[in-house]
C-alpha cells in the first residue's frame, strides 16, 4: 500500500472532496471548552488551579514565572542555538520592520483634510504551544512584531511540561524578545485567562498564536464575545506543486515536514505524472522508516493525498481551490506559477525554499491561516498588532462646500439630526 493515495486527473466535481480537511466531531470539544471558559470567567485563579489539577495532575503555586527563571534560562541554551535564535530574530525583525505603514494625509477637497495613523494594540496575549514539543520559534514569530509595532504590554502563556517547568528554550526566547510576563498556563484555560483576566493574569486586547483543537476553539469562542484574535488556525497543512524537474526526495521531505506536526495535519502533492507520484511515495517510505516521529507520520499520511494533473493550469486551479497554509512551488519555472496564486498563507518558491525555512528563520511569519481560511485571511504580520485611526479636520469654508452633499444624504436616509449638525454650524443658533 502506498503511503499516500494517488488520484489521477480527477474531474472538477471531485475536487471539493479532495480539498476537504480532516474533520472530527467537535461537539464534545465545544462542550468542554465552553465549560472551561465559564469556569475561568467566574472563578479566576482558583478555577485555573482546579483545571490544572484536573487535566495536568498538578497546579503551580503561582502561574507567572519570576524574572529570575527567564534570566537563568540562558545558562541552559547551547551557543549554537543562541546563534540560531539571534539570526532568526534578526531576519524576522528586518522583514516585519519593513512592513510598518506610513501615515496618510490627504486634502480631499479645499478645507477638508483627512488623515490616518497606525497605533499599536496596547496589551496583547501570545499563546505558545509547549509541553512535549515546546515551539520556541513561535515566541519569535509573535513577540518580535509585537515589539516592533509598539505594543506596551506583552503577556505570554505556555503550558508547562510534565515536571511542571517551562522549557528553557521558550524562557530564553521570551527574554531575548523582551517579554517579561510569562505564565505557565496552557490549553483553553490559558485563552480564557487572557480573554477575561484573573487575579494574576491580565486581560488582553487581542490573542495570538497556534494551538490544538481546544485552544483553537477557545480562541474562536472568546473572539465571538469581543476579545480579538489573530486568525482561525487549525491543524497544519502543506501543498507541494511539482513537475518532472523536481526532486522526489525534496518533495517527500516537504510533505513529511508538515505531516510530523500531528496526526491531523495534512500534506498534499500536486504533480504532473503518476510516475513522479510513485517516486515520491518511494521516497516517503524510505524517509518515514528512519524518522523518530514515524507513528505520527503514518497517521497523518493516511489522510493526505497525491493528485496528478496533465495540465499545469489544472494544478494551479486545484491549489487555489485548496487554499493551503503553506504552498511550495517546485517547478522548472516557478515564478509565473507563484504569481498566479492568490489563496495561500505563505508561498515557498523554487527547489531550495523548504517550508521549514519559513517556519524558523527566513523572516516571514509562520502563524498562518489553515483549513482554507487563506481565501480571506492573511498570516500574522505587523498590521496584526496595529489599529488604524482616521482623523478629519474641516475649515468653515470646507464644511460649507461639503454641506450640500452631507445634508442631501442625511435627509435621504431620514437622519435629520445629522443634517442639523451641519446647518447649525453654518447658520448659527437652534431653530
Q: Please tell me the distance from the alpha carbon of residue 207 to that of residue 3, in angstroms, as a whole number.
A: 37
DSSP three-state, residue 184: strand
C-beta neighbour count of 132 within 10 angstroms: 9
In terms of Cα–Cα distance, which of 267, 234, 240 is closest to 367? Answer: 234
Rounded to 5°, the CA angle 235-241-244 comes to 145
Locus of grid cell 551557543? 79
**Tell me, what DSSP letter sits at residue 375?**
G
Whether residue 64 lies in the annotated active site = no
Whether residue 261 is annotated as binding a ligand: the answer is yes
Distance of CA 95 to the CA centre of its chain: 16
C-alpha cell at 327: 504552498
Whether residue 96 lies in the annotated active site = no
Whether residue 287 is annotated as binding a ligand: the answer is no
C-beta neighbour count of 161 within 10 angstroms: 16
Of 325, 393, 397, 427, the active-site residue reads 325
DSSP three-state, residue 185: coil
**Tell me, what DSSP letter sits at residue 343?**
S
Of 326, 366, 393, 427, the active-site residue reads 326
Q: Please tell me the distance from the alpha carbon of residue 17 to that of residue 33, in angstroms, as a whole number.
A: 29
Q: Please tell me the distance from the alpha carbon of residue 344 to that of residue 352, in angstroms, as a whole number.
A: 19
Whether residue 258 is annotated as binding a ligand: the answer is yes
In terms of Cα–Cα distance, which of 311, 351, 354, 317 is closest to 335? Answer: 351
Whether the CB-CB separation of 270 and 241 falls below 8 Å is answered with yes
Whether residue 326 is annotated as binding a ligand: the answer is yes
Secondary structure tally for the chain: helices H, strands E: 16, 14
Rounded to 5°, the CA angle 259-262-266 comes to 45
Whether the CB-CB separation of 406 and 379 falls below 8 Å is answered with no
C-beta neighbour count of 182 within 10 angstroms: 26
Buried (b) or exposed (e) across 85-96, using 16+ Cβ within 10 A? beebbebbbebb
Whether residue 418 is annotated as binding a ligand: the answer is yes
Buried (b) or exposed (e) across 209-232, using 16+ Cβ within 10 A? bbbbbbbbbbbbbbbeeebbbbbb
Give me the DSSP letters along 192-216: HHHHH--SSSPP-SEEE----HHHH
Locus of grid cell 439630526? 417
Binding-site residues for substrate, in ranges, read 236, 258, 261, 326, 359, 413, 418
Binding-site residues for NAD(+), in ranges, read 127, 189, 212
Q: Which residues are catalytic?
A: 325-326
Binding-site residues, in ranges, read 127, 189, 212, 236, 258, 261, 326, 359, 413, 418
Amino acid at each position: 500500500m502506498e503511503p499516500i493515495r494517488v488520484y489521477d486527473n480527477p474531474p472538477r466535481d471531485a475536487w471539493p472532496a479532495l480539498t476537504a480537511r480532516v474533520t472530527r466531531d467537535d461537539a464534545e470539544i465545544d462542550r468542554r471548552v465552553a465549560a472551561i471558559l465559564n469556569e475561568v470567567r467566574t472563578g479566576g485563579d482558583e478555577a485555573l488551579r482546579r483545571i490544572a489539577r484536573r487535566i495536568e495532575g498538578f497546579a503551580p503555586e503561582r502561574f507567572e514565572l519570576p524574572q529570575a527563571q527567564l534570566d537563568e534560562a540562558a545558562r541552559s541554551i547551547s551557543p549554537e542555538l543562541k546563534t540560531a535564535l539571534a539570526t532568526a530574530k534578526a531576519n524576522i525583525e528586518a522583514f516585519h520592520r519593513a512592513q510598518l505603514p506610513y501615515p496618510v494625509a490627504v486634502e480631499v477637497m479645499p478645507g477638508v483634510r483627512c488623515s490616518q495613523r497606525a497605533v499599536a494594540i496596547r496589551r496583547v496575549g501570545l499563546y505558545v504551544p509547549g509541553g512535549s514539543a515546546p515551539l520556541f520559534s513561535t515566541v519569535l514569530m509573535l513577540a518580535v512584531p509585537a515589539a516592533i509595532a509598539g505594543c506596551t504590554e506583552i503577556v505570554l502563556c505556555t503550558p508547562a511540561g510534565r515536571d511542571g517547568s517551562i522549557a528553557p528554550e521558550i524562557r530564553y526566547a521570551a527574554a531575548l524578545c523582551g517579554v517579561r510576563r510569562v505564565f505557565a498556563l496552557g490549553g483553553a484555560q490559558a485563552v480564557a485567562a487572557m480573554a477575561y483576566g484573573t487575579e494574576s493574569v491580565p486581560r488582553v486586547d487581542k490573542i495570538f498564536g497556534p494551538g490544538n483543537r481546544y485552544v483553537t476553539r477557545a480562541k474562536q469562542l472568546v473572539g465571538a464575545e469581543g476579545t480579538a484574535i489573530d486568525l482561525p488556525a487549525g491543524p497544519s497543512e502543506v501543498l507541494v506543486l511539482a513537475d518532472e524537474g523536481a526532486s522526489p526526495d525534496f518533495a517527500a521531505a516537504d510533505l513529511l515536514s508538515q505531516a510530523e506536526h500531528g496526526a491531523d495535519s495534512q500534506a498534499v502533492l500536486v504533480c504532473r505524472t503518476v510516475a513522479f507520484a510513485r517516486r515520491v511515495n518511494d521516497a516517503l517510505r524510505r524517509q518515514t522508516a528512519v524518522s523518530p516521529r514515524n507513528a505520527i507520520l503514518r497517521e497523518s499520511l493516511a489522510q493526505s493525498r497525491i493528485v496528478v494533473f496533465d495540465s499545469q493550469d489544472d494544478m494551479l486551479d486545484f491549489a487555489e481551490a485548496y487554499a493551503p497554509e503553506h504552498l511550495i512551488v517546485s517547478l522548472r519555472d516557478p515564478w509565473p506559477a507563484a504569481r498566479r496564486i492568490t489563496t495561500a498563507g505563505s508561498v515557498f518558491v523554487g527547489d531550495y525554499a523548504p517550508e521549514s525555512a519559513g517556519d524558523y528563520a527566513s523572516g516571514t511569519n509562520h502563524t498562518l491561516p489553515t483549513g482554507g481560511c487563506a481565501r480571506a485571511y492573511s498570516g500574522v504580520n505587523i498590521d496584526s498588532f496595529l489599529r488604524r485611526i482616521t482623523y478629519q479636520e474641516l475649515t468653515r469654508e470646507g464644511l460649507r462646500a461639503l454641506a450640500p452633499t452631507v445634508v442631501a444624504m442625511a435627509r435621504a436616509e431620514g437622519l435629520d439630526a445629522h443634517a442639523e449638525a451641519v446647518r447649525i454650524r453654518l447658520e448659527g443658533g437652534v431653530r
